[in-house]
Structures are given as C-alpha cells and as structure tokens.
Amino acid sequence: MRCRKCNTKAVIGLPRHNAAFCKVCFNEYVHDQVRRAIKAERMFNRDDRILVAVSGGKDSLALWDILLKLGYRTDALYVDLGIADYSIKSREKVEQFAHMAAQSHGAALLIHTVQQEEGAGIRELADLIHRPTCSACGTIKRYQFNRAAVEHGYDVLATGHNLDDEAARLLGNVLHWQEEYLDKQSPNLPASVEGFAKKVKPLYRLAERETAAYAVLNGIDYIVEECPMAKGSKMLLYKEVLNRLETESPGTKQAFYWGFLEKQARVRPTTPAMTEKDRLTLHPCATCGQPTTAEVCSYCKMMVRAKASIPDS
Ligand code: Q46
Ligand code: ZN
C-alpha cells in the first residue's frame, strides 16, 4: 500500500476515499478536513477564543491538538463525572495532554468536578432523582459546558463529535422521525440568544477510525475504554449497523450524513439554531439566569430535587 500523495509506504488506507496515506500526508489530510469543516460551516475565525469540551477520549483530545496546530486560540473544559476508575483514568489523560498544550501553546484547562459542585458523583446523583444516569449526565454537561463558555467569554464551544457519531445520531432521529431533533442536527448551532454559546463540531468530516489513527500516530495518549454507562446504548447499536454497511459499501456513512446536510442547506440556507417558537418562549431561568423555556431550567430543577435527597446537604 503506497501513499496517494507522495508514494512512500502508507500507514493507513481510507476505502471511502479510495486512498492510502503515509503519516505526514495523513496528518495533512486530517488538518485539511477540519479546515474545510470550519470554513464550510463558518464555525469561527482566527480572532475567536475556542473552548473544547474534552473527555479524555481520542476525538476530543485529537480536536484540541488539531485546533492548536492550526493556530487557533483553544482552551479546554473537562467535566469530572466521578465514575470511579473511568473518571480517574480519563482525567489523568486530559491533564497529561493539557500539560503539554500549556507548554507548547499556552493553552489552559478548566475542570468542573461533579462530586464537588453538584454534591455527588453522577451515578449517585441520578439514583437520588430517579433518572437514568445518561440523562442526568447530559443535563449537567450541556449546562456546565454552556455556562463555562459564556462566563469565561469564549466565542464558541467545540465538541469532538465525528462522522460516525453524527451518522448514528441521524439514523436514530430518522428511525423515530424526531423532526425537531432533525431540524437542529447541525455541525454549527449559532448563539441565537444571550446566554447560549455557539456550538460547533469541527470533526464531522472525519470517521472515528481516522481520529483514532490520528491520535495514535501523533502520540496522543487517550482513554480507550468507553464510559461504562454507554454499555447497551442505542447509539452503539446504530454505529455497529452503520459499520456493517460501511464495510460492504465504503462511503455509506459519509453519503448518509453529508447528503442530509446538503439537503438541509438547500431547504434552509441559514443554519438553524432555534425555531421561532423557541426564540419567543426563551427567557432567563428564575434561579440561575441561563435561557430556558420554563420558569426554572432543567438543571436547576434537577439540583433542587438532588439537594433535597443528598444526606447532610
Ligand atoms: S452520557 Fe452516559 Fe455518556 Fe455521561 S454517563 Fe457516560 S455514557 S459520559 S456521552
Ligand atoms: Zn437554571
């Protein structure tokens, strides 16, 4: 297998592009895909300050690395969920990478510790309020990522969702015809109202095995295990199904997700952030001030219930 660009020995084959690359040309390919994503979706520019949501996994650390190497002013936020070994190990990976990023690019790492700030680890918290762990986790992460971006004055919040994540999410939304979610499934959600950070997904043009290869080839030490709570999730099932299709017919995921984005752009040339209905009904949460459609936002409601159940709180 030879590199398509320079004809030296290739280290990775990309069947969906009918190509193979050596390490140097593969890095160029990855950087180029991210540059194209940023430009095509008008995600941010050179003057913007970017906050990357990092988990310790390959995608978010690769994203932080790529944005720094492309010359963007990028810091990161890690939310420590307090899930025993998984959180200990993933935090170690993040701190290790952040140490290098601070030395080489002067980048900063913010940390939010759920055990300290919300009063209990995510599993205990979810048990106390009788909600599935991932649903409580989603509420906390969405809230804290947004809050950190707004309070620390970042222009945009970037997440490491890749092509596989977005294609799997699209499959789930289509299978259940969740039209409201379909409307908002975009790699760029502008900050449409005060108090909401703009959110972008610069890795949407790269497959999961490409971000994994990028991390390995560039010596990024990441946590290989998935969060233990993800076991049995529908998303993993959709990814498996799409991988099966991809093996038989390379390019399926890309055609599915990028095709959706093209159709969405044709129907509605500007990026959707909020429906008009949302915009009209959003107002500051009576407790914390973040935008919400109810009187009190779902995070604050959840915390009231949790505090009432946490012993000695
Ligand atoms: S929601 Fe659930 Fe994830 Fe939170 S508890 Fe783990 S699997 S991390 S994306
Ligand atoms: Zn609130």
User: What residue spans define the domains of the chain?
Assistant: 31-309
**The pair of three-digit structure tokens given for residue 240, joined into one six-digit string:** 């498996």
Average pLDDT over residues 215-222: 98
Kind and range of the H or E run holding 161:
none
- Mean pLDDT over all residues of the chain? 94
User: 31-309 has which CATH code?
Assistant: 3.40.50.620
Rounded to the nearest angstrom, the distance between the alpha carbon of 1 and the centre of ligand 2 is 55
| Torsion 38-43-46-48 (CA) sign | negative
Residues 234 and 172 sit within 8 Å (Cβ to Cβ):
yes
Integer-rounded Cα Rg, in Å, for the chain is: 20
Please tell me the distance from the alpha carbon of residue 230 to that of residue 234, in angstroms, as a whole number: 9
**Res 287: pLDDT:** 96
CB atoms closer than 10 angstroms to residue 207: 20
**Res 282: pLDDT:** 86
**Res 149: pLDDT:** 97
**The pair of three-digit structure tokens given for residue 197, joined into one six-digit string:** 């950070």
Residue 272 has pLDDT above 60, yes or no: no
Rounded to the nearest angstrom, the distance between the alpha carbon of 294 and the centre of ligand 2 is 10
Contacting residues for 9 by C-beta, under 8 A, at least 6 apart: 1, 2, 3, 22
Which of 268, 273, 271, 238 minimizes the C-alpha distance to 256?
Answer: 238
Closest CA to ligand 1's atom 1: 134
Taking the CA of 285 as reference, the closest ligand is 2
Please tell me the distance from the alpha carbon of residue 154 to that of residue 157, in angstroms, as a whole number: 7
Please tell me the distance from the alpha carbon of residue 66 to that of residue 73, in angstroms, as a whole number: 11
Sorting pLDDT into bands at 50, 70 and 90, what band is 71?
very high
For ligand 1, residues with CB inside 6 Å are: 122, 133-134, 137-138, 227, 229-230
Residue 312 has pLDDT above 70, yes or no: no
- Of 131, 159, 169, 229, the residue with max ligand 1 atoms within 8 A of its CB, to mutate for a pocket test, comes to 229
